[in-house]
Amino acid sequence: MPTQIEPALLTELRGRLRTARRVFVLTGAGVSAESGVPTFRGGGQSGVWKGMPFDAISSYRMLQSDLPALWEWFDYRRNLLRDLRPNPAHLTLAAWQEKFAHLCLATQNVDGLHTAAGSRDVHELHGNIWTARCTQCDARESLREETNVTGAAMGATDAATGARERPPVCRSCGNAMRPDVVLFGEMLPAGVFEQAAEGAAACDLCFVVGTSSLVYPAMRLPEIALEAGAYTVEINPEATPFSALCHAAIQGRAGEVLPQLDY
Ligand code: BJW
Ligand code: ZN
């Protein structure tokens, strides 16, 4: 049974969407769950790979100690994502960009599905899984054109499959490249958090969609909106630390709730 929003709350939210001047949206893994992307936390084995918890693999420590294993983990993830498509939650948020003069969309997701849905200027707080970045000179390369990568270090470009060696070698300086994502213990890309925080501080309506609200500093963004006086709405099937702080916590799936809010 799809999520039913209480009628009085639905009326309230549609009214707020009609009159909002600046909207800020923070999304997390849950917004992509209905596309088939595993979340990190909250049940199942989604956050475990080869017996290691994801926060041990997606960490600065792993980058330093075992770059090939880090690539193997992200190649595995990219192969899972390759055929997945945006769901109604991504599509609704992309459509909102046409409705509001000011909509700021910040995501913790690295999957690129907001952009695939048509959203522009997405603030990707934790980077993007489809890009490699040089560990020395910061040159970037797209990994989109690569076909299925087996995960094993291959040593050289495979002409038959289109896969690059692991780790890829930077075409500018010859040093090793890394996945262009933000690992635990790393700083966010310069300016990205600050731009999102500006959007949060300036909004009058804020949506927090599909995030466990546990990871710093992204978890601060809805609090910034709240402190600035915005009406805040959480959409998540589970309660989070933000549920008790926000004005409205809708317990439901993003792909079912967001399209219902459309006015
Ligand atoms: C649905 C749904 C549906 C399901 N519809 N919803 C101690 C205290 C405070 C902070 C720290 C601390 N120790 C260390 C820190 C800092 C650390 C941190 O926050 N750790 C805490 C977890 C303890 N943060 C960092 O290290 C950050 N950097 C930083 O702080 O820099 C300063 C610094 C530098 C050096 C030293 C110390 C500080 C960087 C964080 C980078 C996070 N990176 C990851 C991995 C990215 C690469 C990869 O993809 O592998 O980003 S971790 C992972 O968590 C990923 C996510 O973006 C992020 C957030 O997760 P998210 O999106 O909330 O997903 P889930 O799975 O947690 O939740 C999904 C939700 O969806 C659930 O609630 C479901 O119910 C819901 N859901 N179906 C709607 N259909
Ligand atoms: Zn380089």
- Consecutive 10-residue averages of pLDDT for the chain (263 residues): 89 96 98 96 76 93 96 95 97 96 97 98 98 97 79 50 82 97 97 98 98 98 98 98 98 97 83
CB-ligand 1 contact for 29 (6 Å cutoff):
yes
Q: How far apart are CA 207 and CA 100, in angstroms?
A: 14
Bridge pairing between strands 123-124 and 102-107 = parallel
The ligand minimizing its distance to the Cα of 124 is 1
- Using CA atoms, how far residue 17 sits from 3, 100, 260, in Å, is 19, 9, 12
In the chain the beta strands, taken as DSSP E runs, fall at: 22-27, 48-49, 52-53, 102-107, 123-124, 127-134, 140-142, 177-181, 205-209, 231-235, 248-250
Question: Tokens 């915005």 map to which residue?
Answer: 230
CB-ligand 1 contact for 210 (6 Å cutoff):
yes
Q: How far apart are CA 250 and CA 235, in angstroms?
A: 5
Q: How far apart are CA 263 and CA 13, in angstroms?
A: 9
* Centre of ligand 2 from the C-alpha of residue 144, in Å: 19
Q: Which atom of ligand 1 is nearest to the CA of 47?
A: 66
Nearest to 168 by CA among 125, 126, 136, 124: 136
Q: How far apart are CA 156 and CA 158, in angstroms?
A: 6
Q: Which residues of 128-161 are buried (b: 16+ CB within 10 A; e: fewer)?
A: bbbbbbbeeeeeebebeebeebebeeeeeeeeee
Tokens of 106: 């910040």
**102-121 pLDDT tens trace:** 999 999 999 999 999 999 99
Positions annotated as catalytic residues are: 126
What pLDDT sits at residue 48? 85
Tokens of 32: 């992509």
Residue to mutate (ligand 1; options 37, 46, 48, 184; most atoms within 8 A of CB): 184
What pLDDT sits at residue 155? 46
What pLDDT sits at residue 64? 97
Q: Atom 73 in ligand 1: which residue has the minimum CA distance?
A: 212
Q: Atom 9 in ligand 1: which residue has the minimum CA distance?
A: 216
What pLDDT sits at residue 144? 92
Is the peptide bond preceding residue 2 cis, with omega within 30 degrees of 0?
no
CB-ligand 1 contact for 257 (6 Å cutoff):
no
Q: Which atom of ligand 1 is nearest to the CA of 254?
A: 5
Q: How far apart are CA 259 and CA 247, in angstroms?
A: 20
Q: Atom 20 in ligand 1: which residue has the minimum CA distance?
A: 215
CA-CA-CA-CA dihedral for 246, 193, 140, 108, to nearest 10? -10
124 phi, psi to nearest 5 deg? -90, 95
Q: Which domains does the chain have, with CATH numbers?
A: 1-37+84-126+187-263 (3.40.50.1220), 39-83+142-181 (3.30.1600)
The ligand minimizing its distance to the Cα of 188 is 1
CB-ligand 1 contact for 42 (6 Å cutoff):
yes
What pLDDT sits at residue 262? 84
What pLDDT sits at residue 145? 86
What pLDDT sits at residue 47? 79
The ligand minimizing its distance to the Cα of 62 is 1
**164-175 pLDDT tens trace:** 789 999 999 999
105 phi, psi to nearest 5 deg? -110, 115
CB-ligand 1 contact for 32 (6 Å cutoff):
no
DSSP at 257: H
What pLDDT sits at residue 154? 45
- Using CA atoms, how far residue 159 sits from 65, 71, 260, in Å, is 29, 19, 48
